Structure 1
Amino acid sequence: MKTSKPDGRRFIVICFFFILFLCILASINEVRFEALLKFGGCALSNSSSSNNVLVSNSTSPDEIRILLGILTLPDQYSRRHFLRLIYGTQSPVGAKVDVRFVFCNLTKEDQKVLVALEIMRYNDIIILNCKENMNKGKTYTYFSSLPEIFNDTDDGSGPYPPYHYVMKGDDDAYFRLDKLVESLRPLPREDLYFGYVIPCPSMDPFVHYMSGMGYLISWDIVEWIRVSEIPKEHLEGPEDKVFGDWIRNGHRAKNRFNAKWSMYNYPEPPTRCTHELWPDTIAVHLLKTQEKWIHTLQYFNVTRDLKPSKLYHIP
C-alpha cells in the first residue's frame, strides 16, 4: 500500500523538526560542557593562582631571603630548644628568614637518636661533613656546603638565589630579625659583607674584619667560597679573622657595611666592644647566662604580644 503524498510530507516535516531538535539539544549540551570546562578551568586557575600567589609572596622581588646559620654543638639540646622560642616568635615583615642550627658529624649513639628526633620535629638542623671544631675549618665547611645543600634551584623548582644573604651566628647571641631585615633592605644584594668591625675602636670595614658574633655575606660570595682555592689554603686560626683574610685576599666584598653600634656585646662586664642595651639593636652578643638572656629579653619586651586568656595568668 502506497503512502499518500500528504502523509509523506508530514513525515518529512516531522523528521526535519526532530533533527533540528537534536541539533539544538547538542548545541545546548556543548555550551553547557564548554561552560563546565570553563568553570573547571576557572576553578583550577583560581587554585593555581592561589598557589602562585603563595609562591609569589614567598619569592617576591621585594622580599629578602636570609639564612641564619647558628653554629653550635650536637649536645646543646637545651640551648637549641631555647633559641627556637627566641626565633620562633619573631616574624619580620617582607622577609623569609630561615634559622638553622649547624654542627659537624654526630659521634655518639644518643646524638643519633635525639638529633634525629629534633630533625623529625623541627627540620631546622644542618649536619656538616666534618669533625667538630671551632677554628679549624668548620666555618669554611658551613659556607662551602650551602650551594650543594640548596641546589634545588638548578631544576627551576625554587628561586635563585635560594637566599640573598647568608649569616653565620653564635649561639650566645640574640638577633632581632626585624631590625636585621630593616638594616639590609637598602643594601646591595651582591658582593656584600656585613657585621661588627673588629677591632672594637675601628669603624672602617675595609681595614679589618667582622666579629664572629654574627657576620653576613651575599650569596655570590658563598658560591665563591665553594670554588675558590683561597679559603681552602687558609683554614686554621680565629674563624672570623680567617674569614676576613679570605675576603681581602680574594678581593671580594666591595660592598661592606659596619653594623656598629647596633651589634655589640652584652654591657657587663663593660669593655670597648659594648654599651648599654638600646632600641635600635640588631644583635647582642655574649649572653652566657640565663640571667643575661632574661634581662635582654625583658628590655626588648618580647612578650608584649602575649594574648590574654583564661588559661593562664602572668603578672
Structure 2
Amino acid sequence: MKSRRPSGRQFVLSGCCFFFFFFFFGLLCILTSINEVLLQSLYNFGRLPFPALSANAKWSIDSHIIENSSSNDTRILLGVLTLPNKYERRQLLRLAYGTQSVAGAKIDVKFVFCNVTKDDERFTVALEIMRYDDIIILNCTESMNEGKTYTYFSSLPEMLNGSDRSDPPYHYVVKADDDTYFRFQALVDSLANLPREDLYYGFVIPCESMDPFKHYMAGMGYLVSWDIVEWVRSSDIPKQTLKGPEDKVFGQWLRDGRRGQNRYNAKWSMYNYPSAKADEKCSHELWPGTIAVHLLKTREMWIDTLSFFNVTQNLKTSKLY
C-alpha cells in the first residue's frame, strides 16, 4: 500500500504546532528567569548592608523637611533611641504619635539604633524603612554607655545639612527613650517663649533638684537647639569622654564647653509614670498639663496613660465598627 503524502494543510498545521510549542517554551524560560531575578533581588535586599539603607533615609528626612515645613513653624526632630528587635514598641509609638495634631510646629519622629546584625532584623527593618521611612541606623555599638548618644547627635549635621536652606533643618532635636510618651502640643507650647539657640531643656536629675545648671537632664527625653547639635559634631570636648552614663556625660560636655546656657527645667510636666513606691521621687499622678510621661514599661501602663489623655476622642463614627 502506498503511503499518503501529507497535504499542504497538514504541513501548515504541523508548522503552527511547532511554532507555538517553541513560543510557549521560550516564554516559560523567560518568566522563570524573571522570577529568579526577583527572588534573588528580594533575598539580597534583606541582606543589604544598612549604611546604604540609612543613607536613603537621610536623604528622605532632608527632602521631607524642605517640602513640608513652613518657615514660621517650629521644626523638631524627636529621635527615639531604641533597639532593632523592638518592632512592637515602634508600632505602638507610631500610633501614639501619628494620631497627634500640632499647631505651629512640624515634628518628625525617627527611631534610632545602631548597626543591625541579625538577618531577621535586617529584613524587618528594611520593610519598615520602605513602609514608614522613619528609621535612622547609626554606625555604633548598641549600648547606652558606649557612645550611642554622641553618635546620634554628631551624625545629624552630616545627614541633614545637604540643602541650600539658610536656616537649620530643625530648630530643636530631642533624644527620647522608647518608654516615654510625649504630648506634642504641650511640648510646642512650652517652647513658645524659649530661645532657639543654646537651649538645654528637660527633666533635671536628681529628682529632688530644680537647678538645671548644677545637674543634668534625665534620659527620658531632653531637647537641645540645633547649634548645640552642631557643636557636639565639631567640638573636641565630647570626644574626650565618650563612655559612661551617657545623659550625665552629655551634661558634663555642656558644662565643660560652656554651652546650653539657656536651660529650662520642665518639672513637673515631665515625670515618671505613677508609682506606688514610697521612695519614687520622680513620679506623680497623671495630670492635664503633662508634656511627657516616662517608664511606660507595660502595655497596661500605655493604655492607662493614653486613656487618661483621651487620645481616641476624635474617633469618627462609622457603620464598619
TM-score (norm 2): 0.77
Cross-structure match for 2:138: 128
1:67 equivalent in structure 2: 77
Deviations along 1:283-308, one digit per CA (max 9) or x if unpaired, are 00000011111100110000000011
Q: Which residue of 2 aligns with 1:296?
A: 305
1:1-315 aligned at under 5 Å gives the runs 58-61=69-72, 63-153=73-163, 156=164, 158=165, 160-270=167-277, 271-312=280-321
Q: Distance in 2 between matches of 1:169 and 1:272?
A: 20
Displacement of 1:159 in angstroms is 5.8
Q: Which amino acid aligns with 2:177?
A: D
Distance 1:152 1:237, change over 3 A: same
Larger radius of gyration: 1
Offset from partner CA, 1:100-154 (integer Å, 9 cap, x none):
000000101112211000000000000001121111100000000000010222x
CA-CA distance at 1:60 after TM superposition = 2.2
Q: CA offset at residue 264 of structure 1?
A: 0.2
CA contact (8 A) 1:179 1:281 kept: yes
Residues in 1 aligned to 2:154 and 2:121: alpha-carbon distance in whole angstroms: 24
- Amino acid of the structure 2 residue aligned with 1:171: D
Count of aligned pairs between the two proteins: 255
Amino acid corresponding to residue 173 of structure 1 in structure 2: T
SS in 1 for 2:162: helix
Q: Determine if contact 1:59/1:159 at 8 Å carries over to the other structure.
A: no
Shift of 1:56: 8.9
For structure 1, which runs of at least 5 residues remain unmatched after alignment?
1-53
Q: Which runs of 5+ in 2 are unaligned?
A: 1-64
CA distance in 2, matches of 1:120, 1:216: 28
Q: Is the 8 A contact 2:238 2:253 kept in 1?
A: yes
Contact conserved, 1:208 with 1:244, CA < 8 A, in 2?
A: yes
Distance 1:93 1:208 in 2: 32
Name the structure 1 match of 2:49: none
Superposition CA RMSD, Å: 1.4
Question: Is contact 2:172-2:225 (8 Å) kept?
Answer: yes
User: Judging changes above 3 Å, is the alpha-carbon distance between structure 1 residues 193 and 86 closer, same or farther for their aligned structure 2 residues?
Assistant: same
TM-score, L = length of structure 1 = 0.79
The alpha carbon displacement at 1:91 in A equals 1.4
Between the aligned residues of both structures, percent identity stands at 69
| Counterpart contact for 2:141–2:147, Cα < 8 Å | no
Aligned partner letter, 1:264: Y
Once the two structures are TM-superposed, the CA of residue 185 in structure 1 deviates from its matched residue by: 1.4
Counterparts of 1:151 and 1:250, CA distance in 2 = 23
Using the alignment, how far apart are the partners of 1:80 and 1:257 within structure 2?
28
2:184 aligned partner, one-letter code = L
Does the CA contact (< 8 Å) of 1:102 and 1:125 recur in 2?
Answer: yes
